[in-house]
Amino acid sequence: MAMGEPAADGLTEKCGVVGMSLDEEDAALPLYYGLYALQHRGQESAGIVTHDGFQQHSHVEMGLVGDAFDEADVESLKGSSGIGHVRYPTAGSVDTSCAQPFTVSFKGGALGLSHNGNLVNAAEVRDDLANKGHAFTSDGDTEVIAHDLARNLLEEDLVRAVKRTMERVHGSYALTITHDDTVLGVRDPEGNRPLCIGRLDDGHVIASESAAIDTLGGELVRDVKPGELVVLHEDGGGFDSYQLKDPEHTAHCFFEYVYFARPDSVIDEELVYEVRRELGRKLWAEAGADTDVVMPVPDSGRAFASGYADAAQEDDADVEFAEGLMKNRYVGRTFIMPTQEARERAVRLKLNPIRSTVEGKTVTLIDDSIVRGTTSDQLVELLYDAGAEEVHVRIGAPKILAPCYMGINMATREELIGANRSTEEICEHIGADSLSYLSVDAITEAVGKSGDDLCLGCVTGEYPYDIDGEMTDRDVERPVVRPEPVDAD
Amino acid sequence: MAMGEPAADGLTEKCGVVGMSLDEEDAALPLYYGLYALQHRGQESAGIVTHDGFQQHSHVEMGLVGDAFDEADVESLKGSSGIGHVRYPTAGSVDTSCAQPFTVSFKGGALGLSHNGNLVNAAEVRDDLANKGHAFTSDGDTEVIAHDLARNLLEEDLVRAVKRTMERVHGSYALTITHDDTVLGVRDPEGNRPLCIGRLDDGHVIASESAAIDTLGGELVRDVKPGELVVLHEDGGGFDSYQLKDPEHTAHCFFEYVYFARPDSVIDEELVYEVRRELGRKLWAEAGADTDVVMPVPDSGRAFASGYADAAQEDDADVEFAEGLMKNRYVGRTFIMPTQEARERAVRLKLNPIRSTVEGKTVTLIDDSIVRGTTSDQLVELLYDAGAEEVHVRIGAPKILAPCYMGINMATREELIGANRSTEEICEHIGADSLSYLSVDAITEAVGKSGDDLCLGCVTGEYPYDIDGEMTDRDVERPVVRPEPVDAD
Amino acid sequence: MAMGEPAADGLTEKCGVVGMSLDEEDAALPLYYGLYALQHRGQESAGIVTHDGFQQHSHVEMGLVGDAFDEADVESLKGSSGIGHVRYPTAGSVDTSCAQPFTVSFKGGALGLSHNGNLVNAAEVRDDLANKGHAFTSDGDTEVIAHDLARNLLEEDLVRAVKRTMERVHGSYALTITHDDTVLGVRDPEGNRPLCIGRLDDGHVIASESAAIDTLGGELVRDVKPGELVVLHEDGGGFDSYQLKDPEHTAHCFFEYVYFARPDSVIDEELVYEVRRELGRKLWAEAGADTDVVMPVPDSGRAFASGYADAAQEDDADVEFAEGLMKNRYVGRTFIMPTQEARERAVRLKLNPIRSTVEGKTVTLIDDSIVRGTTSDQLVELLYDAGAEEVHVRIGAPKILAPCYMGINMATREELIGANRSTEEICEHIGADSLSYLSVDAITEAVGKSGDDLCLGCVTGEYPYDIDGEMTDRDVERPVVRPEPVDAD
Amino acid sequence: MAMGEPAADGLTEKCGVVGMSLDEEDAALPLYYGLYALQHRGQESAGIVTHDGFQQHSHVEMGLVGDAFDEADVESLKGSSGIGHVRYPTAGSVDTSCAQPFTVSFKGGALGLSHNGNLVNAAEVRDDLANKGHAFTSDGDTEVIAHDLARNLLEEDLVRAVKRTMERVHGSYALTITHDDTVLGVRDPEGNRPLCIGRLDDGHVIASESAAIDTLGGELVRDVKPGELVVLHEDGGGFDSYQLKDPEHTAHCFFEYVYFARPDSVIDEELVYEVRRELGRKLWAEAGADTDVVMPVPDSGRAFASGYADAAQEDDADVEFAEGLMKNRYVGRTFIMPTQEARERAVRLKLNPIRSTVEGKTVTLIDDSIVRGTTSDQLVELLYDAGAEEVHVRIGAPKILAPCYMGINMATREELIGANRSTEEICEHIGADSLSYLSVDAITEAVGKSGDDLCLGCVTGEYPYDIDGEMTDRDVERPVVRPEPVDAD
C-alpha cells in the first residue's frame, strides 16, 4: 500500500467514447450512430465535436443521444473528423459542466477530448495548473487532461505532448481526442478501460466497444494496446501507432465482461457474451443447485443462466430454463417513492413473477452481482410470495467486497453488502435457501487472462493503482492473492 | 358486409385504464403505480382523476407516467377514489386534447372517463350530440361517450344512464369512470378489450391487466364480464355488478395474447406467458425447422421461441436455443435517419448479432408477427451478414391480412405485407430460406376459446363488428376456421 | 384596536379580474383582451374559465397573458360566458396552486372564481371548512371563498348562497364568479377594490378597471356598488342587482388612484389621470420648489409632474418641464446582481440621466411614493453625478408609514422608510436638498371623497378593517385623524 | 446606379455590440450590464464571448439578456476581456445559427465577432470562401467577416489582417472582435453604424452607444472614427488606433437619431434627446398647427412633442402639451389576433385615449415616422372616437420613401406607404385633418452634419452604397438637398 499519494478525487465516470476520421463524408452522423451503440455506457449527457479543417464545431447536451441531438444539430457539425461521448449518470446532483467532449479553444488551435476512466492524481495536476494561471470551469478529470495537453501542445509536437501528459496523469483512461482535424485514441498503460480500432468503408474509427463498429457496418481491426497512442490519418485511410508507455502488467477491468459491456462486444479479444455463458457454465460446475427451474434476473443474468442451464443439461440434471420474472421496461429514474412502503413496492413495479413458472417449484435465481443486496432481498421474497418452494441464488462473479476507483460508480464501502459480511450472512440477509458466488479463478479462466493482467480490486481489495488507503496488488506477492479463494464460504 | 353504417372514425387508441376505491387512503399514489404497470399499453400521455367527496381533482400530461407526474402532482390529487389512463402514441401529430382521463364538469356533478377501445359509430353519436348543442374539444371517441353519459345522468340514475349509453355506442370499449366519488368499470358486450377486478388490502381496483393488481400487492378477483357494469363501493369494501347487455358471442382480441399484453397478465382466465409458450410449441408441431439454433427476435419472440425450443427438445431435435441478437434498449422514437442508407442502418442500431451463435450455423428466427415486413427483411440480411448458413423464419401467429378497427393502430391495408401477398411471396420478400405462420386453429386452441368468441378480424378479414367496407364474420360461412357460423346481428 | 380577531393571513394579492356574458359569441377571446388591458394588475399568472351551457372549460398558466395563452388555448375555451384573472407577483417562491381563476367541480355543478383583495379572517373560515372535511390544495384566500360558496350552493339558491358567504368572510374582495354558465360580480361592503360594469355590442362585462371595457370597444355603465351582487343575464342582455350588504362607510383604496390603476381608468367615478394631475397641482400649491426644471421619475411620476408644471406656469414660475431620466424598459425581474456594488449599479441600468437637462441646473424630481427609499437614494445621487446643482424631491402622496393588509404587497413595517423616520430624516437619508410629501387632505380633495370613505391605512396607520395589532379608524374619532397633518415636517 | 454589383443579401440586422478589456476583474458581468443598456437595439438573442488568456469561453442564447444569462452562465465566462451582442428580431422564422457573437476556433487561435450593420457584397465574399473550402453554418454576414478575418490571420499580423478584410467587405459594419484575449473595435469607412469608446475605472470599453458606458459608470472618450481600427490594451490601460481606410465622405445613419438610438446616447458628438427636441422645434416652425393640445404617440413621439410644444409656447401659441394616449406596456409579440376585427382591436390594446385630454378638443399628434401607415390610421380614428374635434398629424422626420439596406429591417418598398403616395394621399389614407413631414434640410441642420456625410437613403432614395437596383447618391446631382454633388466612387 502506497501512503502519501493523493486519493482518487473528482467524479467517478463510466462513459463511452468514440472518434472517427473519414475520407470525404461528414463524420457527425456516423458518430451519432456510434454513440447510440454505446448508450448503455452513459445516459446522462451526449456530445459530439467535429473539425472541418478550418474550424471546430461542438454540440453537447444533457440527456440520451436521441434527445440531445436533432437533425439540425447533426447537420451543423461539419467536417470529416470528430469525436463523441456519452456520460454515466452519477448519484446526486448532475454537473452540466462535466458533460463531454470537453473543448478548449487555445492559442495552439482547438482541442476536443472524450474520457472514460478515472485519474488518481487529478487534484495534484489540477493544483499545479491552477498555480500556472489556468481557470477551471468544472471539477472533472477531463478538463485536467485537456488543459495539461493543451499546455504541452504549445511547446511540443503532438506525439511528445501526449507522451508528456501520459507521464503526468495516473489512473485509468481511454481517450478519443481531436486536435484541430487530427483524431487520436489513447489508452492508459494498464489498459483498464476498453478501446478498439475499426475500419469503415471510407475511414477509421476508435471506440470503447466493438459493437459501435458493428453498428456502423465496419470491421474490428484490433484493440488499442495499453500505453498506445493511435493517430488516425486525416483522409481516413489508416492510422499510425506510437507505443508511448510499456506496461509490465495490464489491469483490464474484469467487470466490463461481467456487467458493463454489451454482450455482443469483443473486448481484448474475448466476446463478452461467450465469457458470460462460460461463467454460467463454471457456476454450475462450482455451485450447481438441483432445482426444478433456473431463471435469470432479467436482463443482467440471462447469458449466465443460459450457460448454467446448458451445463446442467449436459450433466443430465433436470433443471428447466424459464423466464420467471417479467421486467417492466418503463420504470425509470423519476419514479416517485414517498414512503418506505412505497420503496418496498418498487421492486414489484420493476419485476413481477410469472406465476406458472414459479408456483410450487424449487427455483435457482441467477444474477451477475450483488452490490447493496436490497434488490436480491426483495426478489427472493417476491418468488416465495409467488409460491416458490425453495429459492437458491447463484452469482456469476465473485463477491464484491471493495469499491471501484477506476471509473465505475459502484457504491461506497459502507454500502457494499459484501464488504463486511460472510457469504452465509449475506444469504441470511437476502433470505435465500442458499447462495454461492463464483471463484476468482473462474473469472481469470473464463476471461482467458492472468490475474496479474486484470483489475480485480473490487473482488480482492487489492488494486493495480495506488489508491490512498487501499492495498496495491503490485506490492503484494501474487501467489497469495489468486490461487486460493479469497473468502471460503 | 353492412352498408350504410358509418365507418370507424376518430383516432384508433390502444390504451391502459385503471380505477380504484379505497377505504381511507388517498388513491392517487396507488393509481400512479397501477399506471406504471400498464405503461406498455400507452406511452403518449398519462393522467389521473380523483374525487375527495366534495370536488374532483385532475392531472393529465403528455409523456411517460414517470415524466407526467411529480410528487407534488400526486399529492394534489386528493381523495380515496379515482381513475387513471395511459395512451398509445399514434402515428402523426399528437393531439393533446385527446389525453385522458377525459373530464366533464357538468350540472349533474363531475365526470372522469378513461377509455380503451374504438367506437364504430362515434361520428354518428357525435353529430347527434352536436345538434343538441354540445361543444366538443377533441375528435376522440372518449369525449363522445363522456357527453352522452353526462347527458343521460341529467335524466336517469347511474345504472340506467350507463345502460342507455351502452345502447347508443357501438364498438369496443373498456372503461373506468368516476361520477363524483363513485368509481365504475364497464366492458363492451363483446368483451373486446380486457378489464379485470382486483382486491387490495383496503379497497378494490379495476384495471386493463391483472399485472397492475399484482404490482399493488393485490389479488385478481375475476375479469369484468362482457356487457357488465361494475360499481365499486365508496368505502372500498366491495362492488356491485349489473349485467346490462348479454352477448350471444364475445369477441375477445386474440392479439392481446400474442403481442400486446404483458406476459405476466391473466386475461379472460389465461396467463399470457403460457399462451405464448403454447403457441411456440404448436409452431414447432406445425412447422418445425431442423436448424442448429433457434433464436427469438428480442423481446417479442422470446416466449414463443422458448416453447418452440422445449417442444423441439422433447422431440429430441438437436436445436439449441440461443440469444443471437442483442437489443439496444436505448433506440427510441427520436432517432435521426435523414437518408435511405441511414434508415437501413437503423436495424443495426436496434439489433446486433452475437457472432458466435450465428456464424456458420443454420438458424430459425422466431417472432410474434410480421406487419410491414421491413424489419424482418433487415434481420434476415443481418443474420446472413453475420455468417448464418440458412435463415428460417417462424411466426407465432397467423398472417395479418387486414387492419384492426378495434383500437390497435396496426397499419393500413396498403402497408400490411400480408394483405396482398402469399406466404411464399413474403418469404421471398424478406429473403429467408423458409417462412411459416401459425394456423388460426392453433390460436383458438392455445387461447382455449372458440373462434366465435374471439376477434380474429386482422387474420381472417372477417370482423365481429360492422365496419364500413369490411366483411362481418357474423354474416359469412366460416366452416374451415370456426365450426359453426354465426347469424347476423 | 380590535383584539381577538385573527390577523390577516394567507397571501396578499393584488390582481385583476374580469367576467363576461355575451349573446352568441364565444367569450374567451374578449376575456383574453380584457386581461391584456389589466395586465398591469398582475404579471405572475393568467387564467380564463368559460362555460358552454353544458360544461366548464379552464386554462390557467404562469406568466404574462401573451405567454399563458396561444390560439388553441383560446379556441378550446368554448362558451359565451366566463371569467378571467391576472395575478400579481408576490415576493419569494411562487405557488402555482394559487393561480386563478380557481375552479371547483362539485356536486352542485361547476364554480369558477377570480379574486382581487385580501381576507382578514381566511384562516378562521378555512379551519371551519377543514373541520367539515374540505381538502385544500392551496393556501390562498380564493379557495376559501370558493369552498364556502360551493357549500352554501348545495343548500341555498344563488343569491342567498352569496349573501351567506359575504356574511362569513371579512376583508377586501372584488370577485368575478361563474356558477355553471351564470356570471356574477361581487364587491365587498367597503368597496375596497375597484369593480365596474360595462356594456358591449353583444353582452355585458364586469372588470377591475374601466380601461378593460374601453379596450373591448364597450361603454362604462357604472361601478359595482360596495356590498352589491351583480348577476349578468345569460344572453348578455342586461344584469340584475342585489344590494346584499349596506355599508355605513366605504373604504376605497386611495392608492389605486395614486399608483396602481391605469391613468385612463375611471374608478368610482373619477378619471385616474386627472386625479394624478390634480395631486400634482396641489403638490405645487403645498410645496412648490423654485428650480430650473421639474422632471418626473418615469413613468410613475409623469402625470403628477405634468400637473405640477402646469400649476407652476399658471403661477408664472420659471420651472421648465423636462424628461431628465431615460428609462430602460427591458430591465426585468431576472436581473443578475451578485454583489452589493452590482445592486448599486442596478439603478443606472434602469434609469440614466439625460445630461443636457440636468447639468448645471436646479432640479425638482417628482414621484408618486417612497416605499423603501432605496431607489430615491440612488436617483438623487444619479442627478448630482450628472451635474445637478440642487435636487428637490416632491411626492404626490402622503408618507407611507404602515403596511397594507388589503391586497397590496407593499412592504413590511420594518422595510417602510416612512414607518420610523421623520420627513427630515428621510430627506437626509436620500440625500436631497429638500423633500415634501402631499397632505392627506389633498388626497381626499383630489379624489373627491370623504376620508371616512377611503382606506388610508398605509398613510395614517388607522384601518377600516380589524387587523390584529393595528388601529381601526372606525374606532377612533374622525376629526382627530384627518384635518390636521399626520406628521408635521 | 451601379450595375453588376451583387445586391445586399443575407439578413438585415440591427444590433448592439460591446467589447471590453479590464485590468484584473472578469469582464463578463460588465459586458452583461452593457448588453442590458443596449437591449433596445436587439431582443432576439444575446451573447457574450470572453477569453481568460488561455482559452475562449462563450454563451449565446435566444431571448432577452435577462433570460439568456443566469448567474452561473456569467460566472463561467472567465477572463478580463470579451465582447457581447444583442440581436434584432427580424420578420419570419428566426435562425438560431445567426445569434452572436459568432465564434471560430481555428488553427490561429480563437476568434469572437459581434456585428451591427449589413454588407452589400456578402454573397460574393461567401462564394469566394466556399470555393476555398470554408463550410458555413449560417447565412449571416457575420460568419463571412469572421471566416475572411480568420483566414487573413493565418497569413498576416492582426492590423494587416483587419485591413485586408476591410478591403474585401463592403457595406455597413460596426464590429467588436476578440482574437484570443485581444479586443478590437472596427467601424466601416462610411461610419454608418455608431460605435464609441469609453474609459472605466479599471479598463476600456467599446460600445454601439454611449448609454452603455454611462451604465457602467464610465466616461465617453470619443466615437470610433469611420475606417478606424481600435485595439484595446490587454491590461485595460488604453488603446491603440489605426486609421485603416480614409473616407472622403461619411454616411452616418440619420435614423439612429430619429428613431433607433436611446435619447440619452451621444452619437457622433450629438445628444440624441436634444436632436429630437430640435427636430420638434423645427416641426413647429415648418408646419405648426394651431390646436388646443399637442400630444405624442408614446413613447416614440415624446421628445419631438416636447420640443414642438416649447417652440409653440415661445411663439405664445395656446397649445397645451398633454399625454392623451395611455400605452399598455405589456402588449408583446405573442398577441393572438385570429380575425380582421381582432387586428383592428389591437391598437386599442396598445393605446387607449385619456378622454379628458381629447374630448371636444382639436389635437396635434406627433410621431417620429410613418412606415406602413396602419397604426397612424387607427390612432387617428381612436382620437375621433374619443371625441377629438380635429386631428392634425405631424412627423418629426421626412417621408420614408425607400427601404433601408444598411441594417434596419424597415419594410419592403411595397409596404412603405410613402414610396408611392403623395403626402396628401397619405393624409387622406390615415384620415387626418392635416399631415406634415419635416424637410430633409431640417434633419441635416438638427444633426449638425452635411447631407454628404449622412445616409439619407430611406428619405431620398439615393444611397451612399452601391445597391443593386437603387440609385447611388454619390452619382446624382442633389443641388436642393445637399449643396455639393459628390463624384462616383
Of B40-44, B316-320, B341-345, the least confident? B341-345
HSE-CB for D55 with a 13 A CA cutoff:
24
Residue B218 lies in a domain: yes
Give how many domains chain A has, as a whole number. Answer: 2
What is the maximum span of chain C, computed from C-alpha positions, in angstroms?
73
Residue D473 lies in a domain: no
Rg of chain A over CA atoms, in angstroms?
A: 23
- Would you state the pLDDT for residue B1? 23
Q: What is the three-class DSSP state of B280?
A: helix
Same domain, D34 and D96: yes
- Would you state the pLDDT for residue B183? 98
- Would you state the pLDDT for residue B133? 83
DSSP A94: -
A228 touches A247 (CB < 8 A) = no
Q: Has residue A4 got a pLDDT over 70? A: no
- Note the pLDDT tens digit of each residue in A73-109: 999 999 999 999 999 754 333 455 678 999 998 888 8
Same domain, D305 and D235: no
Give residue D351's identity as a one-letter amino acid code. Answer: L
Domain end call among D247, D262, D279:
D247
Same domain, D274 and D243: no
Q: What is the reported pTM? A: 0.82
Region of B328 please: left (phi>0), alpha (psi -120 to 50) or beta.
beta
Q: How far apart are CA D365 and CA D482, in angstroms?
A: 30
- Note the pLDDT tens digit of each residue in C384-393: 999 999 999 9
- Would you state the pLDDT for residue B469? 66
- Would you state the pLDDT for residue C140? 82
- Would you state the pLDDT for residue C371? 87
Q: How confident is the model at residue A473 (pLDDT cuts 50, 70, 90)?
A: low
Answer whether B323 touches A (CB < 8 Å).
Answer: yes
* N- to C-terminal Cα separation, chain B: 12
B and C make contact (3+ CB pairs below 8 Å) = yes
- Would you state the pLDDT for residue D410? 65
Q: How confident is the model at residue B84 (pLDDT cuts 50, 70, 90)?
A: very high
Could D56 and A105 be called an inter-chain contact, meaning their C-beta atoms sit closer than 8 Å?
A: yes
**CATH code of the domain containing C122:** 3.60.20.10
Answer whether D378 touches C (CB < 8 Å).
Answer: no
Could A150 and D180 be called an inter-chain contact, meaning their C-beta atoms sit closer than 8 Å?
A: no
Q: What percent of chain C has pLDDT over 90?
A: 67
Answer whether C179 touches B (CB < 8 Å).
Answer: no
D104 to chain A, closest Cα gap in Å: 6
Q: How confident is the model at residue B354 (pLDDT cuts 50, 70, 90)?
A: very high
Could B328 and A36 be called an inter-chain contact, meaning their C-beta atoms sit closer than 8 Å?
A: yes
Residue B211 lies in a domain: yes
- Note the pLDDT tens digit of each residue in B421-474: 999 999 999 999 999 999 999 999 999 999 999 999 999 998 887 776 676 655
Range of the domain at A140: 2-247
DSSP C237: S
Is the bond leading into B483 cis (omega within 30 degrees of zero)? no
**CATH code of the domain containing C395:** 3.40.50.2020
Could D40 and C332 be called an inter-chain contact, meaning their C-beta atoms sit closer than 8 Å?
A: no
- Chain C partners of D354 at a C-beta cutoff of 8 Å? 263-264, 271, 273
Quick one: CA dihedral C162, C163, C166, C167, positive or negative? negative
- Chain D partners of A97 at a C-beta cutoff of 8 Å? 76
The shortest CB-CB distance from B110 to any of C53, C97, C105 is to C105
Report chain A's mean pLDDT, rounded to a whole number.
Answer: 87
Give the C-alpha distances (Å, rounded to integers) separating D296 from A321, C187, D309, D346. 87, 37, 10, 19
Q: Has residue C94 got a pLDDT over 80? A: no
Q: How far apart are CA C103 and CA C118, in angstroms?
A: 18
Could D338 and C71 be called an inter-chain contact, meaning their C-beta atoms sit closer than 8 Å?
A: yes
Lookup result for grid cell 369496443: B172
Same domain, D43 and D85: yes
Nearest to B292 by CA among B377, B431, B389, B382: B389
B210 to chain A, closest Cα gap in Å: 11
Same domain, D43 and D142: yes
- Would you state the pLDDT for residue C337? 64
Domain end call among B192, B215, B247:
B247
**Cell numbers of D48, please?**
457574450
B248-277 b/e with 16+ CB inside 10 Å = b? ebbbbbbbbbbbbbbbbbbbbebbbbbbbb
Backbone angles phi, psi at D343, to 5 degrees: -60, -35
C377 touches C437 (CB < 8 A) = no
Same domain, C80 and C127: yes
Same domain, A184 and A301: no
Answer whether C74 touches D (CB < 8 Å).
Answer: yes
B330 to chain A, closest Cα gap in Å: 7
- Chain C partners of B180 at a C-beta cutoff of 8 Å? 107
Could A76 and D133 be called an inter-chain contact, meaning their C-beta atoms sit closer than 8 Å?
A: no
Answer whether A300 touches B (CB < 8 Å).
Answer: no
- Note the pLDDT tens digit of each residue in B112-169: 999 999 898 999 999 999 898 888 877 788 999 999 999 999 999 999 999 999 999 9
Residue A70 labelled as part of a binding site: no
Could D322 and C306 be called an inter-chain contact, meaning their C-beta atoms sit closer than 8 Å?
A: yes
Residue C458 labelled as part of a binding site: yes
Q: What is the three-class DSSP state of D58?
A: strand
B302-330 b/e with 16+ CB inside 10 Å = b? bbbbbbbbbbbeeeeeebbbbbbbbbbeb
D183-211 b/e with 16+ CB inside 10 Å = b? bbbbbbbbbbbbbbbbbbeebbbbbbbbb
- Would you state the pLDDT for residue D408? 67
Same domain, A286 and A177: no
Residue C20 lies in a domain: yes
Q: How many CB pairs under 8 A join A and D?
A: 62
Strand segments, DSSP code E, in D41-167 are: 45-51, 56-62, 81-87, 102-106, 109-119
Which residues of B make up each annotated binding site? 253, 300, 367-368, 404, 455, 458
Give the C-alpha distances (Å, rounded to integers) separating B432 from B249, B363, B425. 39, 10, 11
Q: How far apart are CA D220 and CA D206, in angstroms?
A: 10
Residue B159 lies in a domain: yes
Same domain, A301 and A168: no
D42 touches D88 (CB < 8 A) = yes
- Chain C partners of B76 at a C-beta cutoff of 8 Å? 97, 137
DSSP D305: H
A293 touches A319 (CB < 8 A) = yes
B447 to chain A, closest Cα gap in Å: 16
HSE-CB for A79 with a 13 A CA cutoff:
25
Give the C-alpha distances (Å, rounded to integers) separating D158 from A373, D100, D242. 64, 22, 11
Could A330 and B271 be called an inter-chain contact, meaning their C-beta atoms sit closer than 8 Å?
A: no
Catalytic sites of D, residue numbers? 15
Residue C472 lies in a domain: no
Nearest to C358 by CA among D264, D311, D212, D321: D264
Backbone angles phi, psi at A457, to 5 degrees: -50, -45
DSSP A257: I
Residue C70 labelled as part of a binding site: no
Other residues' Cβ atoms within 10 Å of the Cβ of residue A475: 11
* N- to C-terminal Cα separation, chain A: 27
Q: What percent of chain C has pLDDT over 70?
A: 87
C residues 49-68 near B, CB within 8 Å?
A: 52-57
Exposed/middle/buried for residue C204 (C-beta within 10 Å: 0-12, 13-18, 19+) = buried
Top residue of C201, C272, C352 to mutate, by most chain D CBs within 10 Å, is: C352
- Chain C partners of B82 at a C-beta cutoff of 8 Å? none
Residue of D nearest to A104 (CA): D55
Q: How far apart are CA C309 and CA C366, in angstroms?
A: 10
- Note the pLDDT tens digit of each residue in B180-199: 999 999 999 999 999 999 99
Active-site annotation holds for B15: yes
Q: Has residue C344 got a pLDDT over 70? A: no
Residue C455 labelled as part of a binding site: yes
Could A264 and B329 be called an inter-chain contact, meaning their C-beta atoms sit closer than 8 Å?
A: no
Instruction: Report how many helices (DSSP H) and strands (DSSP E) chain C contains, helices first.
Output: 16, 26
B38 touches B227 (CB < 8 A) = no
Question: For the residues C107-113, what does the mean pLDDT come to?
Answer: 92
- Note the pLDDT tens digit of each residue in A365-382: 999 999 888 888 899 999
The shortest CB-CB distance from C105 to any of B55, B78, B133 is to B55
What are residue B62's DSSP bridge partners? B45
Is the bond leading into C299 cis (omega within 30 degrees of zero)? yes
Answer whether A147 touches D (CB < 8 Å).
Answer: yes
**Cell numbers of D228, please?**
478606424
Q: How far apart are CA D253 and CA B330, in angstroms?
A: 56
A358 to chain D, closest Cα gap in Å: 54
Residue of D nearest to C355 (CA): D264
Same domain, C44 and C165: yes
Same domain, B238 and B323: no
- Would you state the pLDDT for residue C342? 64
Could C323 and D338 be called an inter-chain contact, meaning their C-beta atoms sit closer than 8 Å?
A: no
Q: How far apart are CA D76 and CA A136, in angstroms?
A: 9
- Would you state the pLDDT for residue A384? 96
Q: How confident is the model at residue C422 (pLDDT cuts 50, 70, 90)?
A: very high
Residue D128 lies in a domain: yes
C24 to chain B, closest Cα gap in Å: 13
Answer whether B330 touches C (CB < 8 Å).
Answer: no
Whether this model's ipTM surpasses 0.90 comes out as no
- Chain B partners of C180 at a C-beta cutoff of 8 Å? 107
- Would you state the pLDDT for residue C11? 30
- Note the pLDDT tens digit of each residue in C349-382: 889 999 999 999 999 999 999 988 888 889 999 9
Residue C367 labelled as part of a binding site: yes
User: Mind listing the pLDDT tens digit of every residue in chain D (489 residues)?
Assistant: 222 222 223 233 479 999 999 998 999 999 999 999 999 998 889 999 999 998 999 999 998 898 899 998 999 999 999 999 999 754 333 455 678 999 998 888 899 999 999 898 999 999 999 998 888 877 788 999 999 999 999 999 999 999 999 999 999 999 999 999 999 999 999 999 999 999 999 999 999 999 999 999 999 999 999 999 999 999 999 999 999 998 889 999 999 999 989 999 999 999 999 999 999 999 999 999 999 999 999 989 999 999 999 999 899 998 988 889 998 888 765 556 666 666 667 778 889 999 999 999 999 999 999 988 888 889 999 999 999 999 999 999 999 999 887 766 666 788 889 998 999 999 999 999 999 999 999 999 999 999 999 999 999 998 887 776 676 655 443 332 222 222 323
Same domain, D442 and D406: yes
Q: How confident is the model at residue C97 (pLDDT cuts 50, 70, 90)?
A: low
D136 to chain A, closest Cα gap in Å: 9
C residues 349-368 near B, CB within 8 Å?
A: none
DSSP D114: E
Q: What is the three-class DSSP state of A221?
A: strand
Residue A208 lies in a domain: yes
